[in-house]
Structure formats: structure tokens, C-alpha cells
Structure 1
Amino acid sequence: MDPAKPYLTGHYTPVVDEVTAFDLPVEGTLPPELSGQLVRNSHNPKPGVTPTHWWKGSGMVHGVRLRDGRAEWYRNRWVRTPALDGAPYLTESGPDLSASTAGTHIIEHAGRLLALCEANFPFELTRELDTVGAYDFSGKLTTAMTAHPKQDPVTGELHFFGSSPMPPFLTYHVASPGGDMVLSEQVPGATTALKHDFAITENHVVFLEMSVTFDHTETSGIPYGWSDDIAPRLGILPRGAGGAARVRWYDIEPGQALHFANAYEDAQGRIVIEGPTLDREGWKLSWTWWAGTGGPRHSEPVTRSVIRRWVADPATGTVTEGRCDDLNVEFPTINEDLLGREHRYQYAIAFPDERGGNHGLVKYDRRDGTRRILDAGTGVLPSEAVFVPAAGATREDDGYLLTVTSDLHRNASSLLVLDASDLCRGPIATIRLPHRVTAGIHGSWIPEEQTA
């Protein structure tokens, strides 16, 4: 591996082996209602392999099983896709949707554990994280699948999309709570703009086509780049059959968002969306890290990424937008019981900016406009915070945040259980993992009733 590539060093240094460990040491007391499995994904190329871009590293999934106040086991496994053994994505007959890194996210739906990468089919895993194989919804999925599907907490439906630099550029899909594909519709007017994430509300689906689009001249293997020549816009379509044909596009300001915290319909019928957004300079600085090419070296994967809010008004056909904060953050999460509905609290990972500082976990209170930051300390990077509701919760933030830390001083990792209602209280419990876990991307909590 090339040590000059920032995504192969420090917190992102790949793990070189697969481990299984039982009865993990716990400091503090694990809440008894934490019965289930935390799974998280990371880009983790095999020894001897140097990918040309952070996003091209093969997927490795890490899992921790909790039950009855104990940390029963930890496992990490590569997702065994054709790409892990060098199979190309592009073939003589076109893209091979099974040649996936499967390294961006991992979710559970309808009893299936799915490792995701937006350019390919999902890959099904067992609960012990062994690879079952590519999953195409019984042949009904013929496009790639986003790494950021949305499961409606009320209906149980899974909403997702496939995007491509070749027609059809955007296809919207819905799977039933039981896992059957029930809707696939091409979205007219969509372009090759990068669509990594999207959002749903109670009645709508929201796509953002922003300032980064397909660029065949990009040499990193990820063919996208910033363009000042395209007009950024926001597309809103009604949920349900026939909705894609009724998409409505709204002009917005330049920028690029990779992840959205949430979206909802307010009391005036407007659609509100929030997420960290990069400006042109922030995208270029971040891309330098992701691709490991040219220019000054930066030690962080995101720079100048700040929370932005868009409010689309169907009555006027316009969008108002603006910054919500000036903190450099990414990987926003919420209590997903409120996905698609108005939420008060959201969480994110804070990254050092031009002024320095440490990594940390941030809690935003959208009602009073305040934020609280839990400083992770020098040399420690927390992972995306996964919210788990507490038993008998009565408030939105009654619950726990689960985050896996990478500690460079100890060359070790821990799973922290934090009180989501009082972020700065410190860990309720700390689970010591058997080795350092590569800083990853996204993950999920799978409750006990869904792990059988």
C-alpha cells in the first residue's frame, strides 16, 4: 500500500485480518434494553492493494453483538464480492453490478442484512457477517442501489434509487415491508449530477442535483467533478405510483451535499431539508484527500462542510436556503423514528478545520438553535453516531448513541454507549474491541427481534 495515500494512513489504516472475539470487556454498565447488533461498514482494501480513491477500497463490515448487559462477540469480515478479487466494474458487455466494493453502508430490511455501494447491487450477509451474495430483489432490481435507502418508520417501506452516468440517469424504487419490490419508476429530466443520498417526507421524495456531475476526464476511478456550468436544483416528487412523472424541479445555489440529516413537511406545506454541504473550495480540498492526488496534503477527509437548510415552497415554486452553523461536520444522524417527520435533535461528527481542534460528536437542538460538542480528545476519531431509543422513551432524545472510536495513541478501538439526552455526560459503557477498527462510513443498529 502507498503510505502517501491519506485514506490508507492514521485512522484509516486498513485492518489486515479477520477476527472473532467473545465476551468483550465492558467498563460501566450496558443498558439491558441494548439487545441486538451494531454493524458498520468501512473501506478496507486487502494487504498489497492500493485503490486509486478512498471510495474504491473494498468493504469490511464490523459487528458487535449485545445481549443481557453483555458484549457477546465482535466480528469483522470482508464482503466477498467479485471486486474483492479484482473483477472490474466495466466489462465488454457493460457494467457488472455485482463487482461491488460493498463498502459504504449496511442496513437490515425484511430479514436481510445488506452491504451497500451506490454503483452496484447490494450484497447480502449472514448475521455472522459471512457473504451470501449479490441481491437483486428476485430479479426485479436492474439498476444499482443507493447506499442510503430510507425505511419509513410508519409504513415500513424501503425507499431507494439507482443512479447512473448512462440512461436511465435516475430510477426510484420502493420495496414493501416484506422485502418485495413494488415500485420502479424512471425520473424524467434527471441528469448525471452526483446523487449519493436523498430524502423522504411523509408524502414526498426529494433529490438534489447539485454542483458535482459526471466527468469522464477524472482519473481517480471515481468519474465525478465540480462544474460551474450546471444549474443546481432540487427535485420533489409525490410518493407512490406515478409520482416520478410529476417531479418538480426548483433552482438552488451552488454547493454539494453528500448526506442529509432528514426532510419533512412543515405546517405551511413547505418541504424542509437539511444536511452538511461543501462549497467549491471545500469540495476540492476534500477531493484531494479522497483521491490522494496533487496539491497540499490535508489530514481530514472533509473540509468546509457545514449544515445547510433548504425550504421548498410549492406555492411559490421557490427555495429559500442558508447555513445553519459554521462547524465543520459530516455524517448526520437522527432518531430514525422521526425519519421523514419534523425532528428537534440531530447528531454529527465534528472534524478539525483550518483553526485546528479535535474530532468530536455534536448534538444540535433545532428548536433553540444550540449545539453541544463532546470532544473526543487528541488522536481519537468517533464513528457516525447511531441512535437507539431507550425502553419506554417519552422524549425524542431518550436513548443512546453508539459510536466506535479509533484511538491512535492506544492503537485500539472501543464501542462507546452515550446518553443521547446528555451528550457531555461521558460514556455510560465502554466496550473494548480486540483490535483497532478502521475509521468507517455508515452503520446500523439491528434490534434483537430482527437478528434472529
Structure 2
Amino acid sequence: MTDETTPPLYLRGRFAPVPDEHSAAGLTVRGSLPPELDGRYLRNGPNPLPGEDKGHWFAGPGMLHGIRLSDGRAEWYRNRWVRTRELEGHPFIRPDLSVDLAATPANTHVIRHAGIVLALCEVGLPYWVTPSLKTVGPYDFFGRLTTAMTAHPKEDPVTGELHLFGTGFTPPYLTYHRVTAEGDLLDSRPIEVPGPTMMHDFAITEHHIVWLDLPVVFDPELAGGGGMPYRWDDAYGARLGVMSRTPGSTDVRWYDVDPCYVFHVGNAHEDVHGRILLDAVRYDPDAFRRSWSDIGGPTSPGRPAGAREPLHSGAPSVLHRWILDPATGQVTETQLNDRAAEFPTHNETLTGRFHRYPYTVSDDGITKHDLARHTAHTHETPSSRYAGEAVFVPAADSAGEDEGWLLSLVSDDHGAAGELLVLDARELAVQAVVELPLPVPAGFHGSWLPEPS
């Protein structure tokens, strides 16, 4: 429970925002950084301004944290707010009720495509930032992007194309976009869905797009009061959709699934029988409501953000697999193990293709799952230390899928300085720890940006 003097969960402990921007050079390294790690690790996450409470963990303005690694050294650390129109005080919804797609927090992910680094948040346009974390401005692919952009685009490792989507509060509620390897947005197609939902992620395979149309819906009665205007709606239903990647296709075959929610997809692929296998972190209805309430979201109509309600105990979010069979129209649902899981990652050279090793995080640490042997192994973090999303960096000329390293920003519940944890991905052994000069709040997603060759 919280009271008037206790900040909500998403503003204290390991979630506590930092009050300003810092730069530091010549960071201390414990262990041995692989010399092959020549680049920048960047991570995004919400960081409200001092004294500010946006009413939900997801709503704070974005702050990027960056660490430059080179020649076995940690050359610098810096953190910078993404200088969006929202941070400058411009409203997302204008007085005439139109939407300013550039007035977003840009707080969820950071990627690089075609040489451009983009800070992402699903309700609006991405923001172009430099590798040194200076904000350039909103980026709309030279006027071609007229919808919001997901925080979870998928880059095909074979074609180099970037697949993405945008959601809206009015029709079209869902629009698919395809960007070439050179950064040109060539293809935009509205996809028919019943209404506006919190579609946070999706998947690609070699030949298909996989949609997640799930029952967390936009509620206009909750808009304008701070926080996130989304809630669970049993009446909406839950389904997965499969759409061909053939240019121009908008036909989707839908598969009804048990009620659930998915924030994050692990990966998807097609098997030799033409079935689509989708791995993702699944929340059952009770688990979603508990998690949503903890981070500030309303759990039923008319309840204020952050309000609690009695809920049945249920399984935490777990790694789950759906098998969609186009030949029969049937879907099979399987829980892969009973470990709590979030922020699934994998070797992205295998995005959309078969892979064996996903990596997830929980309060206990970082877990490596072996989908062939049906086993899982966890690198445990100390009780007050919490590992963030583990980004896989493949070793050069690696022969095995898991040859490389996992990079994770570690936050502390007692306000101690953060760390960049570097694990050998094969054994989950600590390769190195980079000591950071200040606490780093728990955040969302990041990327490893190798230096151009």
C-alpha cells in the first residue's frame, strides 16, 4: 500500500528517476571486457522530471543511457532526456482534438536502421538521435510515415527490411509499414481490426506477419486524466492473426486463443509443415490486472489509475508457445516452463527463423532457455540488484547460435550506482562489470550499436 507521502511503486526503489543528466569518462571495469565489443550500448526508459508524476510507469519522458565500449575499455557513460515536443510542454491532444504525433515521450526502445538511431514509443513518431545521444528531432521517413510507429519493429536479417506498424485511436486502428534496408518507407497498408487496443508487439517469419489482437483496449473515458487510458475488456476477445508478407497483402487469417495479454514477443518461425510457431511472454487475465495496477493502470471501468482491487492468485508472466496451423485452422497453446519471465531476447540474426535459445529476465536474474532440451538456467543477481533486458551480441564469425555476450543494465532497489553486466551467453558466466557513476532506473529496451566497419 502507498499513502500521500509514499511515492507509487514506479517512482521509488529501482524505478526511481534520476534528476539530471551526467557524463563520465574512463569507467572502472571489473573483469575483462571482450575487445571485440567495439560500439555503444544504448537503453531507453521513462524518467520523469523532478517532482513529476505522470500517473503510470509507461508515461514518463524518455531518457537514454549510453555506454561506449572499445578495445577492452569502457570509454564513457552518459544519460540524456530525449528532447521531444512533449518534454517541451506541447500536448499530445491539441485543443481542436487533433493528435500531435511528435508530442510523445519517446521512452520505450532505441534502434538503428540504415544508419539512423531512433528513440521509439508506440503512440507517435520516432525521434532521431545521434550516437552521442543528442536529439535531432521527430522522424517521419521523409514525410511517408503518417501514423504512430511501434516501439518493436522487426528487421529481417536476410533482406534487411524493417517491418513495423502503427496503431490509432480512430480508424484505421492498425496500419502495417515496410521500410527498405536503405531506410525508404515503401509500403503502408491499413489492416482491419475491431477497435483500438494496446498492441505493443508483433512478429515476423520468413513469409508472414503475425498480429496480436488482445483484450486490453483504449477507453476514452480514461483519457485526459493522466496515466494510460487502457483497460482489460473481457468482451473484446483474444486472437492471433497471420498475414502474408507478399507486397500488397492485407488478408489476415485469425486464430482465437485463450484470453491473455502479451507485451513482448520472443520470436516466431515456420516449421517444415508450414505451421507458424510463436513464442512470447504471456499474462493470464489476473496476472495482467495485478501487473497493470502495480505500475499505475486502471484495472476496471471507472477506477482511477493506481487503484487496487482484490484478485485471485495466478501464474506470473511466463514463456509460452502458440502453434498456428494454416492447413487445419487449429491453434495449440503450450506453456514452455513455469519460470517468471519478461523482456525476451534472442540472437537477432535469427529473427523470423528457427532459434533454440531465448533469454528472459525476472526479479531473480537473467534466464537462458534451451527450447531443444526444454531446460532453463538462470544467472542470479543479488537481492537488491535487478537486471534489465539482456541484449544478445553475437561474436564475429560465430559457429553457434549462443556464441556471444549478453549486455544488461543493472538497477538497485537501495539507490546504489548502476552497472553494465556483460555475460558470456553460452554459460551465463560474468565476463565483465562496468561500474556506472550514478543509479540507473529500471527501464525498457535497448540495442547494441557496433561501430561501422
TM-score by length of 1: 0.94
Matches within 5 A, 1:135-146: 135-146=139-150
Distance 1:127 1:286, change over 3 A: same
In the alignment of these two chains, the number of paired residues is: 437
Check conservation: 1:2, 1:8, Cα contact below 8 A. Answer: no
Determine if the alignment matches structure 1 residue 305 to structure 2 residue 317.
yes
Does residue 88 in structure 1 map to residue 91 in structure 2? yes
Partner amino acid for 2:306? T
Between stretches 115-124 and 209-218, larger displacement belongs to 209-218
Identify the residue that residue 164 of structure 1 maps to in structure 2. 168
- The 1-side partners of 2:256 and 2:275 are apart by 15
Match of 1:69 in 2: 72
Q: 2:229 aligns with which of 219, 223, 227?
A: 223
When structure 1 is superposed on structure 2, of 31-40 and 190-199 the one drifting more is: 190-199
8 Å Cα contact 2:87-2:105 kept in structure 1: yes
Report the AA paired with residue 252 of structure 1: V
CA drift of 1:365 comes to 0.1
How far the C-alpha of 1:250 sits from its partner, in A, is: 1.3
Change (3 A) 1:137 1:63: same
Tell me, which stretches of 5 or more residues in structure 2 are unaligned?
297-304
Amino acid at match of 1:361: I
Shift of 1:391: 2.3
Shift of 1:258: 0.6
Residues 336/2 of structure 1: CA separation in 2 closer, same or farther (3 Å cut) = farther
Counterpart of 2:43 (choices 40, 44, 47) is 40
- Residue 290 of structure 2: aligned partner: 285
Structure 1 residue aligned with 2:278: 273
For 2:371, the equivalent position in structure 1 comes to 366
Deviations 1:318-354 (A, max 9, x none): 2111211122211000000110001000000123xxx
Letter in 2 for 1:147: A
8 Å CA contact 1:364–1:372 kept in 2: the answer is yes
The 3-state SS of whatever aligns with 2:33 is coil
Q: Secondary structure at the match of 1:167?
A: coil
1:6 deviates by 0.7
2:307 matched to 1:294?
yes
Which amino acid in the other structure matches residue 403 of structure 2?
D
Determine if the alignment matches structure 1 residue 49 to structure 2 residue 55.
no
What amino acid sits opposite 2:57 in the alignment? Answer: W
Question: Does the 8 Å contact 1:2/1:50 carry over to 2?
Answer: no
CA contact (8 A) 1:285 1:303 kept: no
The structure 2 residue matched to 1:314, chosen from 326, 329, 333, is 326
Contact 2:361 2:388 survives alignment (8 Å)? yes
> What's 1:386 paired with?
391
Shift in CA distance, 182/2, structure 1 to aligned 2, threshold 3 Å = farther
C-alpha distance after superposition, 1:259-313 (max 9, x if no partner): 0000000111000101111111111111111116122799xxx972111111110
- SS of the equivalent of 2:63 reads strand
- C-alpha deviation, 1:224, in angstroms: 1.2
Does structure 2 retain, via aligned residues, the 8 Å contact 1:286–1:303? no
The alignment yields a C-alpha RMSD, in angstroms, of 1.8
Distance of aligned partners of 1:22 and 1:386 in 2 relative to their CA distance in 1, 3 Å threshold: same
Q: Structure 1 residues 2, 305: CA separation in 2 closer, same or farther (over 3 Å shift)?
A: farther
Partner of 1:105: 109
Shift of 1:316: 0.8
Q: What secondary structure, in the 3-state scheme, does the structure 1 residue paired with 2:339 have?
A: coil
> Residues 409 and 48 from structure 1, CA distance in 2 versus in 1: closer, same or farther, beyond 3 angstroms?
closer
TM-score of the aligned structures, taking structure 2 as reference length? 0.93
- Alignment deviations for residues 82-132 of structure 1 (CA, whole Å, 9 cap, x no partner): 111322111115111000100000000011110000000000001110100
Higher deviation after alignment, 210-219 or 317-326: 210-219
Q: Tell me which residue corresponds to 2:301.
A: none
Change (3 A) 1:431 1:367: same
Does the Cα contact within 8 Å between 1:288 and 1:297 map onto a contact in 2?
no
Distance 1:274 1:411 in 2: 35
Query: Secondary structure at the residue paired with 2:293?
Result: helix
- Alpha-carbon separation, structure 1, partners of 2:194 and 2:178: 18
1:289–1:297 contact (8 Å) kept in structure 2 = no
2:356 counterpart residue number: 344
121, 126, 129: which one pairs with 1:117? Answer: 121
Please give the alpha-carbon distance, in whole angstroms, between the structure 1 residues aligned to 2:122 and 2:59.
Answer: 11
Q: In structure 2, what is the equivalent of residue 415 of structure 1?
A: 420
Q: Measure the CA separation in 1 of the matches of 2:348 and 2:174.
A: 25
Residues in 1 aligned to 2:157 and 2:74: alpha-carbon distance in whole angstroms: 27
C-alpha separation between the residues in 2 aligned to 1:216 and 1:408? 35
Distance apart, 1:382 and its partner CA: 0.5
SS of the residue aligned with 2:221? coil
Q: Is the 8 A contact 1:312 1:320 kept in 2?
A: yes
1:253 matched to 2:258? The reply is yes
SS of alignment partner, residue 81 of structure 1 = coil
**Structure 1, residues 66-87: CA drift from partner, whole Å, max 9, x if none?**
1111111111000001111322
Shift of 1:5: 1.2
**In structure 1, C-alpha distance between the alignment counterparts of 2:142 and 2:325, rounded to whole Å:** 39
Corresponding position of 1:29? 32
SS across alignment from 2:289: helix
| 1:283–1:303 Cα contact (<8 Å) kept | no
Work out whether 1:402 is the aligned partner of 2:407. Answer: yes
- Stretch of structure 1 that moved more, 79-88 or 140-149: 79-88
Residue ranges of structure 1 left out of the alignment (5+ in a row):
352-358
Higher mean C-alpha displacement, 53-62 vs 182-191: 182-191
Farther off after superposition, 219-228 or 429-438: 219-228
Does 2:244 correspond to 1:242?
Answer: no
Shift of 1:2: 7.0
Tell me which amino acid in the other structure corresponds to 1:370.
T
1:171-190 paired onto structure 2 within 5 Å? 171-189=175-193
Mean alpha-carbon deviation: is it higher for 114-123 or for 400-409? 400-409
